[in-house]
Amino acid sequence: MQIGKKEAIITMAVIILVIGYKQYAKNEEKKSLDIVEGLTFAANIKQNVTTYYSINGEFPNSNADIDLKVFNPSPGSSLSSVDIEKEGTIVVQYNANSEFKYQTIQLVPDSSNASYGIYWTCITTSKEISEASGQKCIHQY
């Protein structure tokens, strides 16, 4: 049985679509893993920031305030830095290995209702990070 031109074109189109979808799914999975890596690493630091706040009544303004060592990423990590900035804000920056090359997320603490603990807001200037996080990181321009 011989395949006609029309069937061959349709077959090629289907193959291209399947390959494209597989690559898309792989990229989406990598994005999710990058988000998880950044937020997981930041979760440990959030605990240190919260402890500092409970002892001092104010947020730390630097890594040194909580004795956070210089970030040294493991091989294959998608992160380039994790730092404490003004008012306890944790800034996670992605590196060239990440799907979010050199973009950042910020975890901003809010103690306005301290009787309920510290409330953390995740913000980013990257729409891509916001979407990959399932809108858990708010996209701000």
Please give the torsion angle defined by the CA atoms of residues 97, 98, 104 and 108, in that order, rounded to the nearest 10 degrees: -120
pLDDT in tens, 4-39: 676 656 656 656 655 554 555 556 666 778 888 888
The secondary structure of residue 64, as a DSSP letter, is G
pLDDT of residue 87: 95
The answer to whether the beta carbons of residues 106 and 124 sit under 8 Å apart is yes
pLDDT of residue 106: 94
Measured over the CA atoms of residue 43, residue 47, residue 48 and residue 53, the dihedral's sign is positive
Q: What separation in angstroms does the CA of 58 have from each of 8, 118, 129?
A: 68, 11, 29
The CATH number of the domain covering residues in 5-139? 3.30.700.10
pLDDT of residue 21: 47
The helix (H) or strand (E) run that includes residue 33 is: helix 5-56
pLDDT of residue 28: 63
